[in-house]
Amino acid sequence: MNLQYIHDNKGNATGVFIPIEEWQSLKQKYNGLQDDELQNFDIPEWHKKILDERLEDYRKNIHNSMDFDTMMRGIRKKYSL
C-alpha cells in the first residue's frame, strides 16, 4: 500500500493520504467502510442555510435561470475560451 503521511509544522504525523485506487480496493474488501463513509458525512448548518437561501431564490426567480451547458457556452464566448 502506497500511503503518504501528513505532518504538521513540528514534524508530528497528523494524517494519512490513501490513493483513491487503494481506498476503493479497501472499501470492496471491508464492506463496512462504505457505510461508515456515508454515515459520517454531515453538512454544517451554515452551509444548509446558504443552500436553502439559494433554492428559495431559484424558486422565486426561475425565469432567470439557465441550464449548465448554456451558461458554459456564454462564459466560453465571453472569455474567448
pLDDT tens-place string over residues 21-34: 998 888 888 877 77
Question: Measured between alpha carbons, how far is 3 from 61 in angstroms, rounded to an integer?
Answer: 48
Q: Three cell numbers at 15?
A: 494524517
Contact 46, 57 (CB under 8 A): no
Angle formed by the axes of helices 32-39 and 20-29, nearest 10°: 110
Model confidence pTM above 0.75? no
34 and 11 in a single domain? The answer is yes
* Domain total of the chain: 2
26 and 50 in a single domain? The answer is no
Q: What residue numbers bound the domain in which 58 lies? A: 45-78
49 and 73 in a single domain? The answer is yes
Q: Would you say residue 40 has pLDDT above 70?
A: no
Q: Would you say residue 45 has pLDDT above 80?
A: yes
34 and 52 in a single domain? The answer is no
pLDDT bucket at 51, cuts 50 / 70 / 90: very high
35 and 49 in a single domain? The answer is no
